[in-house]
Amino acid sequence: MKIFIDGKYYSERDAKVSVFDHGLLYGDGVFEGIRAYNGRVFKLKEHIDRLFYSAKAILLDIPMSHAAVMRATVETCAKNKLRDAYIRLLVTRGVGTLGLNPNRCKRGSVIIIAGKIQLYPPELYARGMEIVTVPTVRNLHSALNPAIKSLNYLNNILAKIEANNAGVEEAIMLNAEGYVSECTGDNIFIVKNGKLQTPPLSAGALYGITRQTVIDLAVEAGHEVTEPNLTRYDMFNADECFLTGTGAEIIPVTKIDGRVIGNGKPGRITKKLVANYHALTNRSGEPIYG
């Protein structure tokens, strides 16, 4: 595996960062997870846009242009001879001192890793997964804004630990007002009477690239999509439920907090969206090999 670090490529064994990098010391940085399918990097511009928005929000100067980051992402896939890949793109604050002050970090660092990922067991995509609501509350907008895809993922990790302790793969996080926000690494949708609903960004949901892609596909298919505040009651009484994310793609949910969703099987609309999503990913994106 060849890993991009600040303009150079290193083997997996030799790819290292300083112990004084504030990304390691304080989780000070931003990241993106990106997918490549069939020799094309999917929604690359949208992901790099979001990376730069996150960086701007924390006053982190990315030491490469938008176009240069896009080129490096595609090149990293080519260097690793990948046609289908999961790409982790990180920007850290860079090397500094043991103090918090980000001004002591002279230059940010860009890291690109292109490999493979299997977020959930394959059988769950066929039969659906069970999830639970957990006590850990989603970050407040007034604290660490959930719109920032930062390297500090402790909020999500704590919720993931609670999911694991409950014997499931994923968890629903509520916001401070008790409304559904998102899952630990995915956005969440429900289907009710043929209409799709997903929590609004104001509820603490991340602006998911896959989330928006699914909204667009649903509208194209003639389904109404709304973004109301949702409660656990709404989730329990949904006809269908599914999660979306770059790593997860689209995965059906068939049980929430012990309540069976719909008939306990992946729903018709969910399965159609999965098919349409896979068709889209296989035909669009930034070419890796010219």
The pLDDT, as a whole number, for residue 28 is 98
C-alpha distances (whole Å) from 192 to each of 198, 240, 268 are 11, 7, 12
| Beta strands at 170-174 and 180-183: parallel, antiparallel or unpaired | antiparallel
Note the helical H segments in 58-90.
66-79
The pLDDT, as a whole number, for residue 254 is 98
**Same domain? 53 vs 137:** no
Over its length of 290 residues, how does the chain's per-residue pLDDT go in tens digits? Answer: 999 999 999 999 999 999 999 999 999 999 999 999 999 999 999 999 999 999 999 999 999 999 999 999 999 999 999 999 999 999 999 999 999 999 999 999 999 999 998 889 999 999 999 999 999 999 998 889 999 999 999 999 999 999 999 999 999 999 999 999 999 999 999 999 999 999 999 999 999 999 999 999 999 999 999 999 999 999 999 999 999 999 999 999 999 999 999 999 999 999 999 999 999 999 999 999 86
C-alpha distances (whole Å) from 34 to each of 27, 209, 282 are 20, 10, 14
- Percent helix, percent strand, percent coil in the chain, to nearest 5: 30, 30, 40
Residue 62 lies in a domain: yes
Domain total for the chain?
Answer: 2
**Same domain? 182 vs 86:** no
**Same domain? 179 vs 200:** yes
- 160: annotated active-site residue: no
Q: Contact at 8 Å (CB) between 223 and 178?
A: no
Q: Which two tokens stand for residue 200?
A: 């609004």
Q: Which of 2, 43, 149, 160 is catalytic?
A: 149
The pLDDT, as a whole number, for residue 119 is 82
The pLDDT, as a whole number, for residue 117 is 85
Q: Which two tokens stand for residue 36?
A: 């490549």
**pTM higher than the cut 0.75:** yes
Given 115, 134, 168, which residue is the final one in a domain? 115
**Same domain? 97 vs 185:** no
The residue to which tokens 């002279």 are assigned: 106
Residue 183: domain span: 123-281
Cα separation of 156 and 127, whole Å? 25
The whole-angstrom distance between residue 13's C-alpha and the CA centroid of its chain comes to: 27
**Same domain? 209 vs 85:** no
**Same domain? 71 vs 205:** no
